[in-house]
Amino acid sequence: MDPLAIDRTHLWHPYTSIAAPQPVHRVREAEGIWLTLDDGTRMIDAMSSWWCAAHGHRHPRLVAALEAQLHSLPHVMFGGLTHDAAIGLAARLVALLPPGLDRIFCCDSGSVSVEVALKMAVQAQHARGARGRSRFATVRGGYHGDTWSAMSLCDPVTGMHGHFGAALAVQHFTPAPPVAFGADWPEDPAENGLGAVAALFEEKGPEIAGFILEPVVQGAGGMRFYHPAFLRGLRALCDRHGVILIFDEIATGFGRTGRMFAMEHAGVTPDILCLGKALTGGMMSLAVTVASTALAAEISAGDPGVLMHGPTFMANPLACAAACASLDLLAEADWQGAVARIGAQLADELAPARDLPGVADVRTLGAIGVIEMRAPLDSARVHGFCRKAGVWLRPFGRLLYTMPPFVTGPEDVSRITAAMVAIAREAT
Q: Which position among 48, 69, 109, 149 is part of the footprint of ligand PLP (CB under 6 A)?
A: 109
Using the rule CB under 6 A, which residue among 49, 69, 111, 152 binds ligand PLP? 111
Shortest Å, Cβ 282 to ligand PLP: 12
Stretch binding ligand PLP (CB under 6 A), from 16-24, 34-42, 90-98, 109-117: 109-117
276 vs 343, beta carbon nearer ligand PLP: 276
x/- mask, ligand PLP, residues 72-101, rule CB under 6 A, reads ------------------------------
Binding mask 144-163 for ligand PLP (x = CB under 6 A): xx------------------
For residues 320 and 284, is the Cβ–Cβ distance under 8 A?
no
Q: Which is nearer to ligand PLP, 152 or 345 (CB)?
A: 152
Strand partners, 87: none
The rounded distance, in Å, linking the Cα atoms of 315 and 74 is 11
Query: Is residue 110 within the footprint of ligand PLP (CB under 6 A)?
Result: yes
Catalytic residues: 15, 143, 248, 277
Binder among 251, 323, 327, 359 for ligand PLP (CB under 6 A)? 251
396: β partners:
399
Contact 322, 146 (CB under 8 A): no
Least Cβ distance, residue 94 to ligand PLP (angstroms):
22
248 marked as binding residue = yes
Confirm whether residue 111 is marked as ligand binding.
yes
The span of 244-252, 343-351, 383-391, 420-428 binding ligand PLP (CB under 6 A) equals: 244-252
Q: Is 51 annotated to bind ligand? A: no
Give CA–CA dist 376/398, Å, rounded: 4
Which residue lies nearer to ligand PLP by CB, 45 or 214?
A: 214
- Nearest C-alpha neighbor of 286 from the set 247, 325, 315: 315
Map the footprint of ligand PLP across residues 253-292, applying CB under 6 A: 276-277
Secondary structure of 110-170 in HEC code, one letter for each residue = HHHHHHHHHHHHHHHHHHCCCCCCCEEEEECCCCCCCCHHHHHCCCCCCCCHHHHHHHCCC
- Please provide residue 237's backbone torsions phi and psi, each rounded to the nearest 5 degrees: -65, -40
State the nearest-atom distance from the C-beta of 399 to ligand PLP, in Å.
14
115 is an interface residue for ligand PLP by CB under 6 A = no
Question: Least CB distance from residue 189 to ligand PLP, whole Å?
Answer: 26
User: For residues 92 and 286, is the Cβ–Cβ distance under 8 A?
Assistant: no
Type and span of the H or E element at 174: strand 172-174
DSSP result, 328-383: HHHHHS-HHHHHHHHHHHHHHHHGGGGGSTTEEEEEEETTEEEEEESS---HHHHH
Say whether residue 143 binds ligand PLP (CB under 6 A). Answer: yes
The span of 63-71, 72-80, 104-112, 167-175 binding ligand PLP (CB under 6 A) equals 104-112
Residue 276 is labelled as binding a ligand: no
Cα 376 to its chain centre, rounded Å, is 22
Q: Shortest gap between Cβ of 395 and ligand PLP (angstroms)?
A: 16
Q: Which residue's CB atom is positioned nearest to ligand PLP?
A: 110
Q: Which helix (H) or strand (E) holds 327?
A: helix 317-332
Using CB under 6 A, count the residues that bind ligand PLP.
15
Minimum Å distance from CB 143 to ligand PLP? 5
Closest CA to 145 of 100, 107, 175: 107
HSE, CB side, 13 Å, CA atoms: give it for residue 240. 12
Task: Please list every residue from 181 through 240 that binds ligand PLP, using CB under 6 A.
Answer: 214, 219-220
Using alpha carbons, select from 320, 311, 327, 324 the residue that is nearest to residue 108: 311
Identity of the residue numbered 388 = K
Could you tell me the smallest distance in angstroms from the CB atom of residue 25 to ligand PLP? 21
Cis check: omega of the bond before 304, within 30 degrees of 0: yes
110 annotated among ligand-binding-site residues:
yes
Position 250 contacts ligand PLP (CB under 6 A): yes
- Are the C-beta atoms of 175 and 193 separated by less than 8 Å? yes
Which residues carry a binding-site annotation for substrate?
50, 143, 277, 310, 394
Query: Which residues make up the interface to ligand PLP (CB under 6 A)?
Result: 109-111, 114, 143-145, 214, 219-220, 248, 250-251, 276-277
Which residues carry a binding-site annotation?
50, 110-111, 143, 248, 277, 310-312, 394
Which residues carry a binding-site annotation for pyridoxal 5'-phosphate?
110-111, 248, 311-312
